[in-house]
Structure 1
């Protein structure tokens, strides 16, 4: 009989919507990037008695988790049942650098790391499709009707090209450079922003649809730029996308100020990322030195946190 590991570790990372947000609702493509600068780690150790969870939100018994963590409780129970293992006897420590409610895939990343840690602890291999199925259990409880995008990106090393209800495809990441993300300190308002765009589509359908289709075209160009290492072009496309998002009123003054700050400090491009009306923005730099300068200037101009992620294997200092 196999002896269970005394300790097991599972990891994942955040995600960034590079381009295509909001347009993706209207069947245009979007591209999401794995964002390794915001890692998640789950450590499981063997203990006696009831299982416990330790995280920044809650420390205590698994059986008495708050509503905000019931998705993880259900996930743990499902995996233990499927693997014919007891739910008790686990010390589960969760460490995440992904800020919640910023559109960076926090809940999916934690679920991904937890699934990997549990399978490692019980010494079982796991196929990627099986991993995604388990993360979906958690995401349905957390979000109701998830697209599956967050689960794929937080468990992948490659950018994901996505179309609503139809298509996920990995993109070869050949582009070099540095992606900076900055947190406005404001929770994103995705649901309200999506609803407002829908109303704008009703009131001014031709004008709004033209902007949506332009975002889709910019996304297709960005896909080629990523594959062909055209980092300057990619930066230009990001800025053009932000201009489109401003036209459909999903940005706000704080996001616009941070985007302008990045551009003034020689970013190749910048835009909001995710639902908008708060949350985060991103900027693209050619070198690590430029990225650090841009991140510093963003903090001086109101960002509450920044992260830098190197793109591709040949990013230059």
Structure 2
């Protein structure tokens, strides 16, 4: 369940309370009269089943509570209550299937922002992958995949396309384009420094490299894996199962492909640079397409489910 904490102007408290009382899946309603100070007003508390939360939040925003007051949403790890059990039973569908769009937009907005931290993580991940490329070390490649933060902007782009949010789309694309450009440029300089220090050798990059040569040899499987990873990653975000994101991160070769392109460019190997860049773009496209289609499918499924529920309620 989700816990909602609202600060509502006193003259609108009855309206909000009535909204919660008629909402399926809402329970544990409490009003703290005059408790709000900034902004001033009443504090309204309510627990809502996850599968009913998106509809409740949409109604609250429709009547402007986010503008005249405040709406805060928190996850509830555990609640022991017969009323809560009944509210979840009455709410349509399963909580794990529900998409809380406001939460998804907020989460992807933060993760898709081009920041110093984002650039640092992506650059370090690319440099780690560069070491894995030169050493033909699959363990380093997997570690670099896990460190890379690129799924955040990709998820932001998918959300923006489905929600028709151009600002989020531009922010996500900017993070991806600038992020990878900066990371690859710095990794090229890093590889040249490592070569000057005698730690990187061109012969190692030009060798057969049986553990890592797939990075600059894209094929149809590259797209298939990226597409499946995009589905899994999107489902993990919408169902709040963040643990699955680690598996997604180590399934696609975005960061290793960027690293291989950077190292190969430093040595003037345009063939590997081209192949690695194709691998990078193929993976990004596969994840973006899969994420967008998954969100569209979830929205369609939940819309049909809600219509079916409303029809049954009307007949009843």
What TM-score comes out, normalization by structure 1 length? 0.26
Which structure's CA Rg is the greater one? 2
More strand by percentage: 1
What TM-score comes out, normalization by structure 2 length? 0.26
RCO greater where, 1 or 2, for CA within 8 Å and sep 6 or more? 1
More helix by percentage: 2
